[in-house]
Amino acid sequence: MKQKTKKKRQQRAQSRLALARFRQQQREQWQQTAAHRAGQRWNKTLRQLADLGATVKQHAQAGDDREKTVYEVTFGGKTSRFRSCFGVQRWLKRERERQEEQQMSWAERHVRWMIEHNCDDHGHPWPDPAEP
């Protein structure tokens, strides 16, 4: 009887080990995919910044424990500093929206405002379609 329980215990241990290995492989694969996507996203951001006419400089600053990368974006005579790629991407998104809005006519801006605020020309809410 002891031999049988020992074998079962060994089988359970082996299956747990196999599952742990499989999960580790999945984790590594997920990290590689995430890193690849982040690289592609950053390249896209750099292309969009170049199209906008902005320049990016990366500086390594010594922090408490490790070096940190600081990004300097120069656009329109102004220099903005960001601590992460994500900050640069957020700035780019806001800047592109601002430029897009500047190129819109008054009527287009007004229609966008009505849609965003869900109201008519005078600021009154739209009637509910469910109401008779």
- What is the pTM assigned to this prediction? 0.64
How many percent of the chain have pLDDT more than 90?
Answer: 56
35 residue type, one letter: A
Residues 103 and 90: beta-carbon distance below 8 Å:
no
d(CA 68, CA 83): 8
pLDDT digits over 64-106, tens only? 777 888 999 999 899 999 999 999 999 999 999 898 888 888 8
* 63 Cβ contact partners less than 8 Å away, ≥ 6 residues apart: none
* 55 Cβ contact partners less than 8 Å away, ≥ 6 residues apart: 49, 73, 74, 75
Burial 103-114 (b: 16+ CB within 10 A, else e): eeeeeeeeeeee
Q: Which pLDDT score is estimated for 68?
A: 86
Is the confidence at residue 18, as pLDDT, over 90? Answer: yes
d(CA 61, CA 45): 22
Average pLDDT of the residues of the chain: 89
d(CA 8, CA 3): 9
Confidence of residue 30 (pLDDT cuts 50, 70, 90): very high
Is the confidence at residue 27, as pLDDT, over 80? Answer: yes
d(CA 35, CA 42): 10
